[in-house]
Amino acid sequence: QVQLQESGPGLVKPSQTLSLTCTVSGDSITTSGGAWRWIRQPPGRGLEWIGSLTAEDNAYYSPSLKSRISISRDTSKNQFTLQLTSVTPEDTAVYYCAQREGYWGQGTQVTVSS
């Protein structure tokens, strides 16, 4: 069974960098053909895809966040990481990591506030 777990700070100050890590078990993030995604849901709004990283280490980002987002990985720990710079309160959301094939983490609340 594939399991994903998000981790990182729940509170980030405006203008700082949001950093979250997804730890994967049950599958390797380098398995050929796989892809690993970050999705978020702001309060009262729908799910928003924000970026993906393939097993071949190719990154794809939401156009609206392209200037601020970076997704990378640590294969020795089977983890991939989201970094979102220059955050504002509009970045407040529940953040999820997910496998393209269907498994999701439980999500983690991130609040941007001073």
Distance CA 47, CA 109 (A): 14
pLDDT at 97: 98
Mean pLDDT of 56-84: 97
pLDDT of residue 101: 85
Average pLDDT of the residues in 95-105: 95
Residue 50 has pLDDT above 90, yes or no: yes
Q: What integer pLDDT is reported at residue 79 of this predicted model?
A: 98
Question: Per-residue pLDDT for 15 more than 90?
Answer: yes
Between CA 64 and CA 54 the distance in angstroms is 20
Mean pLDDT score of the chain: 97
- The proportion of the chain whose per-residue pLDDT surpasses 90, expressed as a percent, equals 96
Give the whole-angstrom CA distance, residue 44 versus residue 60: 26
